[in-house]
Amino acid sequence: MTGKIRKATRHVNQNEGLIFEKSSPGKAAWKLPPLDVPEVDAGNLLGASERKDLGHMPEVSEIEIIRHFTRLSTWNYAIDLGMYPLGSCTMKYNPRVNEVVARLEGIANGHPYQPERASQGALRIMKTLSECLIEITGMDAITLQPAAGAHGELTGLLMVRAHHESRNSPRKKILIPDSAHGTNPATAAMVGYAVENLKSNSRGMVEVSALEAQMNEDVAALMLTNPNTLGVFEQEIHKIADILHAKGGLLYMDGANMNALVGKVRPGDFGVDLMHLNLHKTFSTPHGGGGPGSGPVAIRKFLEPFLPRPVLTTKSDGTLGFDYDRAQSVGRVRSFYGNFGMFVRALAYIMANGPDGLRQTTEDAVLNANYIRKGLEGTYDLPYSTPSMHEVIFSDRVQAKRGVKTMDVAKRLIDYGFHPYTTAFPLIVPGALMIEPTESESKEEMDLFIEAMKSIAEEAENDLQTVLSAPHSTRVSRLDETAAARKPVLRWKPEGS
Amino acid sequence: MRYLPKSPADREAILKVIGARSIDDLFAPIPEEYRLKRDLKVPRQMAESEIVEWFRERSRENGDGLCSFLGAGAYLHYRPVIIDALISRGEFLTAYTPYQAEISQGTLQAIFEFQTMICELLEELERMVTPKTACVLIQSPNFFGTIEDVAAIAEIAHRKNVLLVVSIAEAVSLGIVEPPRQADIVAMEAQSFGVPPSFGGPFCGIIATREQFVRQMPGRLAGQTVDREGRRGFVLTLATREQHIRREKATSNICTNQALVALMVNIFMTTYGKVGLRELAKQNLAKAAYAAQQFGKHVKVLFPGSPRFNEFVIATSEDPYAINGRMLGNKIVGGLPLKKFYPEFGNASLWCCTELTTRTAIDTAVGFVAESERSIRSAKEESVEEVAG
Amino acid sequence: MAYPADLKYTKEHEWIKPDGGTASIGITHYAQESLGDIVFVDMPKVGTELTAGKTFGSIESVKAVSDLYAPASGTVTEVNGDLATAPERINKDAHGSWLVKLKLKDPAELGSLLSAADYEKFVAEEGGP
């Protein structure tokens, strides 16, 4: 793009191009120290394996990089800007102290293979976090290895499979309620299980009689989210567990909604055999635009032999170390020990809260969801009247009669300064609006949100086009997703190539 | 609790609006018998200053200030300071997966640029291949630091009608080592590009394929498109591959895409760029070459004929754990003993040098190894003399 | 929408147009409308054996994906290559855009499929357009 004169036709911040379009030979943002060993001839050392050219990798200066990414950042919405009521995603405040402690020298630069006696700090962090999570879930043991929630599910089901195989009772099926996250069936399929759907009843819960009818010796486990994706606590959880256990099946809990339970009730106390946690949801590690996550799996004692290798142990001299000698282990599920940086953040969060703070956090999350439910009841259709825990699900039934769908309301919400709620999930609610405020919202912020939602409902009656063509305040308007999928352009190419 | 933005009066007011007498009303759906009626046994609520101090203590216990020769899949390279300055912006740090494209263009454009740079680094995999049924998987540079002859392996694989998958653990090598152009799929770890080792994670795994396999790929993809006014913009695309749509028929169960880590990698690649990445790789090459040469004066350096990047294997006479133990006293972490992974390798250890490894550190480590060899030799000579005497 | 009388229909919203011992297969107007803008069709190769009632491919819009079910058994003799680059043709003319052609195993199988009138009634009951 060099040599071409560009005019500022819009605010420069709104018109930032791709980094490649700023590149020109000779610009640089790097400087290496002088080499303190003899120079080498790469051709001599590498022969035919020597690379000569790095194609169109950019050449830009430091200030350009800072401006480029700072400008891009302003096109994002973020929790730091305002309410992010994405149901199921738990977009709570990400405390800054978490980031500070994760960057301490010995923690950020710790090498996973450094000798155990020079790793006691990292191992102590893992041990302390493990103990906290075991206590919070009421389970007996834990692995921190899985890299995110879906990976936790995979690890969990591998352990379920190993358990059944060890009892010479390989099973073929996993039961999954129709309200479940898509990851549950996808995970079951990856582990080689057939997926059997379980229909929810009119209260949005597992129908115990249906479960009883579908349960047999071929069922390896039920994957249950509790509270489920309708934000409803499965009140007959003990009956569900009993039905499974009677026929040798296991109860797997998807812990995506654990933030509704922490400090109030423990899955280990209501019959769960194993579960994963999402540290990036319940325990405040940042979502970072889509990751990294961390998905520890907590288990009951009888599953301990199958934990992924290596397992953290306390040695006879009181120091911490890893046990690799685990004959029945499902093996490694990740290189090294998991997303350690996320363990640090989650533990810092638990410490900042303490037992009283964790309980208050859960109570506030449930309080907030019910406040929003109350505020919008009557304006938006409430398909299930069952009490809400940490999130509330409305439908667009009323607005759809005017041609306004959940996605239209969501896009219009952007103009009011809020991130949209989760649209069109769970699948059992046609046109769902899934709202999870989390504990991080003040009453004032929620009042603004309720006002905005009511105002959009009015617009749906009186000012239809404004809603249907929203958002109006963003850098780009609605994007053509069809064109993107029909002829995918997944990378930049220089002009003329 | 300092993260919670409500006063007791706010809570009371909200309860009143909801029509609940107390917070317990809201938890009534949970059967009484299961409700926890005590405090969780977790550390008490701590002040920020206490939290920082607790982790400082752990940091000190964790090899803070050590000079390390460890690689083997986690590499310590210099991280330009602008990486943390930029990724600490709340707009990147505290955003969700960019489902709502209109208010996520920053993350989406960054992913698109990331995809482009990775394709440039790996060079485009454009040659068409016929559908095949199995694959050959190799790593280059491999676990012992040597560079595989990808072209030759590719020829055999493709002749036998199988796919070639090449994995790259040390991304910095791409600055000076030919990319595996002939591969059908590349699996790569980009941790070297600006991501701290962080005791093993989070890192940044990447899969790159020829275009024809793109609908079989797991994970998120950003694609270019236009908005209603024809302006360039980006969206997550080809989402029908994913679990939230295809459920049990999805290509994987993945939701997370390590976006923030990918952003670190992105900023690192942008900072070093076309010329810097080569120069950085050259320094790594030079440091490892010097170290291997110095070690070679005292012990055997294995695989001498194969080209290598920044790692190499030496075979000492003494157990490397013992040598490393002495070195640790001098704040040096020696190479990784291989017997844990390959018992047949005896006393071999894998050493890594990056641009951060100083000549002084190399010379000191070589000194320890030389000393070890000398004492073993003189011990042997003594016992020979004893036998002779 | 008038459903052509020379086609037979299934409850999975496919149509089949017999032509002697062969037939072409597509998806119905109702199906394309419920899917929305179609972006990709995953189709079998020439020579693939299809079994009536079983899936033989899938069809995708931006945010939905539907399996394709074979209305009849037979061997694929031809695949509509135009749809690879222009899947939007199905949105424009669902009943004129065939996906694959089959050599029928048992033309009598078609006897049990829905007529245009029956299909129209079926769609109306499903709450369709």
pLDDT tens string A25-75:
999 999 999 999 999 999 999 999 999 999 999 999 999 999 999 999 999
Q: How many angstroms away from the CA of C20 is the closest CA of chain A?
A: 35
pLDDT grade, residue B154 (50/70/90)? Answer: confident
Contact C63 B245 (CB under 8 A): yes
Contact B215 C40 (CB under 8 A): yes
Chains in touch with B (3+ beta-carbon pairs under 8 Å) read A, C
Q: Which residues of B touch C63 (CB under 8 A)?
A: 239-240, 245
Cβ–Cβ contact A237 with B under 8 A:
yes
Cβ proximity of B121 and B170 under 8 Å: no
**Where is average pLDDT lowest: A102-111, A344-353, A468-477, B253-262?**
B253-262
* pLDDT given at position B241: 77
Contact A486 C60 (CB under 8 A): no
Task: For residue A479, give the nearest of B115, B235, B355 by CB distance.
Answer: B235
Nearest CA in chain C to B244: C63
Q: What is the mean pLDDT of residues A317-340?
A: 96
Cβ–Cβ contact A142 with B under 8 A:
no
Q: What are phi and psi of B165, to 5 degrees?
A: -110, 125
Is residue A141 scored above 70 in pLDDT? yes
pLDDT tens, residue by residue, B59-80: 999 988 899 999 999 999 999 9
pLDDT tens, residue by residue, C29-41: 999 998 899 999 9
* pLDDT given at position A6: 67
> What is the rounded distance in angstroms from the CA atom of residue B120 to the CA atom of residue B105?
22
Cβ–Cβ contact C1 with B under 8 A:
no
Q: Which residues of A touch B62 (CB under 8 A)?
A: 106-107, 110, 118-122
Name the DSSP letter for residue B127. -
Cβ–Cβ contact C63 with B under 8 A:
yes
Q: Which residue has the higher pLDDT, A136 or B144?
A: A136
Nearest to C119 by CA among C94, C102, C99: C94
pLDDT > 70 in chain B, percent? 96
In chain A, the domains with their CATH numbers are 12-73 (no CATH), 97-350 (3.40.640.10), 361-482 (3.90.1150.10)
Task: Say how many C-beta atoms besides its own lie within 10 A of residue B187's C-beta.
Answer: 17
pLDDT grade, residue C22 (50/70/90)? Answer: very high
Is residue B50 scored above 80 in pLDDT? yes
How close are the terminal C-alpha atoms of chain A, in Å?
13
Q: Is residue A479 classed as helix, strand or coil in its secondary structure?
A: strand
Is residue C129 scored above 70 in pLDDT? no
pLDDT tens, residue by residue, A193-224: 999 999 999 999 999 999 999 999 999 999 99
What is the overall mean pLDDT for chain A?
A: 95
pLDDT grade, residue B340 (50/70/90)? Answer: confident
Q: Which residues of B touch A42 (CB under 8 A)?
A: 176, 282, 285
For the sheet containing C14-19, what is the strand order?
C8-9, C14-19, C22-27, C100-104, C74-79, C49-50
pLDDT grade, residue B204 (50/70/90)? Answer: very high
Is residue A151 scored above 80 in pLDDT? yes
> What is the rounded distance in angstroms from the CA atom of residue A334 to the CA atom of residue C15?
47
Is residue B388 scored above 70 in pLDDT? no
Position B228, amino acid: R
Q: How many angstroms away from the CA of C44 is the closest CA of chain B?
A: 13
pLDDT > 90 in chain C, percent? 78
Kindly give the residue spans of alpha helices, DSSP state H, lying in A167-256: 183-190, 208-214, 237-246
Is residue B20 scored above 60 in pLDDT? yes
Q: What is the mean pLDDT of residues B110-137?
A: 74
Nearest CA in chain B to C59: B240
Task: For residue A475, give the nearest of B54, B57, B105 by CB distance.
Answer: B105
Give residues 13 to 52 of A whose Cβ lies within 8 Å of B: 18-20, 23, 28-30, 32-33, 35-40, 42, 45-51
Question: Which residue of C45, C58, C62 to mutate against B (max B Cβ within 10 Å)?
Answer: C62
Cβ–Cβ contact B328 with C under 8 A:
no
Q: Which residues of A touch C92 (CB under 8 A)?
A: none
Cβ proximity of B101 and A479 under 8 Å: yes
Pick the CATH number of B82-269 from 3.40.50.300, 3.40.640.10, 2.20.140.10, 1.10.10.10: 3.40.640.10
* pLDDT given at position A494: 87
pLDDT grade, residue A2 (50/70/90)? Answer: very low
Name the CATH superfamily, with its identifier, for domain B281-388: Aspartate Aminotransferase, domain 1 (3.90.1150.10)
- Residue range C8-122 in CATH 1.10.600.10: no
Give residues 422 to 461 of A whose Cβ lies within 8 Å of B: 425, 439-443, 445
What is the model's pTM?
0.94
Is residue B278 scored above 60 in pLDDT? yes
What is the overall mean pLDDT for chain B?
A: 91
pLDDT tens, residue by residue, C74-92: 999 999 999 988 999 999 9
Domain limits of chain B? 8-49, 82-269, 281-388
Task: For residue B178, give the nearest of A49, A62, A364 by CB distance.
Answer: A49
Q: What are phi and psi of B368, to 5 degrees?
A: -60, -45
Nearest to B244 by CA among A303, A425, A28, C14: A425
The ipTM estimated for the assembled molecules is: 0.96
Q: What is the mean pLDDT of residues A9-27?
A: 90
Rg of chain B on CA atoms, in Å: 27
* pLDDT given at position A1: 44
Cβ–Cβ contact C120 with A under 8 A:
no
pLDDT grade, residue B126 (50/70/90)? Answer: very low
pLDDT tens, residue by residue, A389-440: 999 999 999 999 999 999 999 999 999 999 999 997 888 999 999 999 999 9
Q: How many angstroms away from the CA of C118 is the closest CA of chain A?
A: 27
Domain limits of chain C? 8-122
* pLDDT given at position A4: 59
